[in-house]
Structure 1
Amino acid sequence: MIDTQDKIQKAGIFQIMQNMEHEQLVFCNDDATGLKAIIAIHNTVLGPAMGGTRMWHYSNEQDAIKDALRLSRGMTFKNAIAGLNIGGGKAVIIGDARKIKNEILMRRFGKFINSLNGKYWTAEDVNMTSKDMEYIRMETPFVTGVPESMGGSGDPSPVTAFGVYMGMKASAKYVYGKDDLKGKRILVQGVGNVGSYLVDHLVEEGAEVFVSDIFDDKIKAITQKHKVGVVQPDDVPSFDMDIYAPCALGATLNEQTIPQLRCDIVAGGANNQLDDERADGNRLKDRGIIYAPDFLINSGGITNVYYEQIGNYNREKVYQQTERIYDVCSDVLKFAAENDSTTHEAALRLALKRIEGVGRIRMTY
């Protein structure tokens, strides 16, 4: 996969989009509210693009573009492997959510989404809440994850966490011969919405849980609720653990961190955990670390909002479908071993097979 961070300016944005097979990139700017956002639509073969909106204080615009492109591409594969009839898209809003996020900003962003006339549906992602979706819904119908009081499915994070938990247990079964996580040393990096719900599952099962986060208030909230260890962010890669669960931003698995890892399994909720899909996937494989592909095991949240979108929401059905992640993850790990491929490549093959079959197209990876 192309390194968008270094090549956006060199190759040009259209060349990057062509290389990554994107359909559309929308830049949204509104001086009155200070809104600066990017909506990336990767692929709509299976249906309208769907993926959450992330708000982050990016260092520069190139980082925001990179995130939007990588995240939307990941959503294409996530939605395909989850068996959903939607394509891949994602949006990022540039700015510190703790300082500038408000009703007016969200509603203005909703107008931009509405201008795409249903080609892109949004939902929650990092630093966004169901309340924000409520504001966006005031300006457009093309939004999911709105509060249950408005007839929506609410926060998708619990379902995302449940899917990650299923993928983690499947990986444990593959590595240890049983999926019991009791006594396993598990580090959850990032205890926001998804990470905190994942901790709930792990603590309940009796795992020895450790957490790390760059925000002190999130650490405080989780340590007040559970008896867990705390690891400083800089110490995460070299921490002695059985399972590493990245649940913050992506690219934590890279050329610098993978050689430091002291774990058997990586299974977390963050998107785009591999900085370089091929190279880092192979680095993990060469070290004998089992990687549960992120877009496979974190697909519970998008499954949740998908059923809201099609008007057939049933929480029990959503959890039943999300539970299938266990079996799919098991199959992917087995296929990768039998075919001497990385687990990421194995999961991609499964997703691409469905997209190509429905659309009768050929995609690269």
Structure 2
Amino acid sequence: MEIFKYLEEYDYEQLLFCQDKQSGLKAIICIHDTTLGPALGGTRMWTYETEEDAIVDALRLGRGMTYKNAAAGLNLGGGKTVIIGDPRKDKSEAMFRAFGRFIQGLNGRYITAEDVGTTVEDMDVIHEETDYVTGISPAFGSSGNPSPATAYGVYRGMKAAAKEAFGTDSLEGKIVAVQGAGNVAYHLCRHLSDEGAKLIVTDINKAAVDRVVHEFGAKAVDPNDIYSIDCDIYSPCALGAVINDETIPQLKAKVVAGSANNQLREERHGTKLQELGIVYAPDYVINAGGVINVADELYGYNRERAMKKIESIYENIAKVIEISKRDSIPTYKAADRLAEERINSLKQSRSQFLQNGKHIINRRIN
């Protein structure tokens, strides 16, 4: 792998390899961009087949966090860590404390949180060595379970997408097909039910489906039927890559808006939705409630302030739709443009500041 060539292509700032022989720590920290502020991104622990696979995952995820944080309006850059190992048997206090010391050594350039394969308890151990960690236990000032925050953001973004598709952001009477009945989907269904939406739900976990059916009067369907169901809004809240060549022809919904990551199997599928007149709320914009929530911990967590910021996902989706129309591009491309325009705007302002500073210094010298 030509690492420097890859770093140059996507303008990465830093890639760090961290190892501690005694604890078995093998970690890769990627800092993609800190134009907007310190890089915030979680720590993933996974059994990668090769070290190159781990490097590529860290790079991909780190860059994704830059776009997610920028589009969310956060004053944070993007980064990510991957730890090579089996989260079921390789974890230890020594490993996460060693990792915490590496983070501390970056002096605030990178802030971590939990991700796939890591937990709140792991973050608490990291917190023993550094303050640059979020998603710790509520006893230490954390925001706690991020699922309600993520769900509220999806709900707000769904309303913005509905306004574009139906001329009103009211979800009363709208049929919403929710794919998934896990923590985020459950709280989303609660918001939708409170507004008077009609719910259709599916999940491979029957108990989770039964809970939503019992509490919110949802109709349960087979997982294979959720794509073709007659509905107004399709909300993927489980697996990724569910928007693909097989499912798109089945969709009857006018809006796709859900919490799942990487919903498009390929970028061209986002273009296809646009061609069919289906409003797609890009996943990393609409599901940013969780990261907005944990980011508030950096200021001393205040739930009211965090939820107010999460409400702005409505405006963020509206901006994406506006850019899509302005530039005649699909919404998934418009989301990237929203993030890039914000980053580039600050880069230019900083450049102007530096140029003015140099001009003043030169004038004084001369």
TM-score w.r.t. structure 1 length? 0.80
Give the counterpart letter for 1:46 in structure 2. Answer: L
Alignment of 1:175-186 (within 5 A): 175-186=165-176
Number of residue pairs the alignment of both structures matches: 349
1:219-238 → structure 2 map (5 Å cutoff): 226-231=216-221, 233=223, 235-238=225-228
1:261 aligns to 2:251 (yes or no): yes
For residues 20 and 210 of structure 2, what CA distance do their matches in structure 1 show? 36
Q: 1:273 to 1:57 in 2, by over 3 A?
A: farther
State the match for 2:276 in structure 1. 287
Per-residue deviation, 1:167: 0.4
- 1:1-365 residue pairs with structure 2 within 5 A? 12-27=2-17, 37-55=27-45, 64-93=54-83, 106-126=96-116, 128-213=118-203, 226-231=216-221, 233=223, 235-248=225-238, 250-277=240-267, 279-309=268-298, 311-360=299-348
Residue 6 (structure 1) aligns with: none
- Find the aligned partners of 1:262 and 1:62 in 2 and give their Cα distance: 41
In the alignment, is the contact (CA less than 8 A) between 1:165 and 1:201 conserved in 2? yes
Measured at CA, do residues 222 and 119 of structure 1 come closer, stay the same or move farther in structure 2, by a change above 3 Å?
Answer: farther
For structure 1, list consecutive stretches of 5 or more residues without a partner in the other structure.
1-8
* 1:29 to partner: Cα distance: 5.5
Instruction: Give the Å deviation of 1:106.
Output: 4.4
Q: How far is the alpha carbon of 1:221 from its aligned partner?
A: 6.1
1 CA distance for matches of 2:179 and 2:52? Answer: 25
Check whether the contact 1:71–1:271 (CA below 8 A) recurs between aligned residues.
Answer: no
Task: State the shift of 1:316 in Å.
Answer: 1.4
- Offset of residue 215 of structure 1: 5.7
Write out per-residue CA displacement over residues 212-269 of structure 1, whole angstroms, 9 at most, x where no aligned residue: 4456675566567554444555555445443222334544334554344332211122
**Residues 48, 121 of structure 1: 8 Å contact kept:** yes
Corresponding letter in the other structure for 2:341 = K
SS in 1 for 2:285: helix
Quick one: distance in 1 between partners of 2:337 and 2:286? 15
Q: Out of 60-69 and 182-191, give the one that drifted further.
A: 60-69
CA–CA distance in structure 1, aligned partners of residues 135 and 48 of structure 2:
24
Superposed displacement of residue 281, structure 1: 2.4
Tell me the distance in 2 between the aligned counterparts of 1:224 and 1:343: 35
How many Å apart are 1:272 and its aligned residue?
3.3
In 1, Cα distance between equivalents of 2:223 and 2:3: 33
**8 A Cα contact 1:124 1:130, kept in partner:** yes
Measured in 1, the distance between the counterparts of 2:222 and 2:57 equals: 25
Q: Based on CA coordinates, which of the two structures has the bigger radius of gyration?
A: 2
Q: What is the RMSD computed on CA atoms of the aligned residues?
A: 3.3
Query: Kindly tell me: are residues 72 and 177 of structure 1, through their superposed partners in 2, closer, same or farther at Cα, counting changes over 3 Å?
Result: same
Distance 1:357 1:160, change over 3 A: same
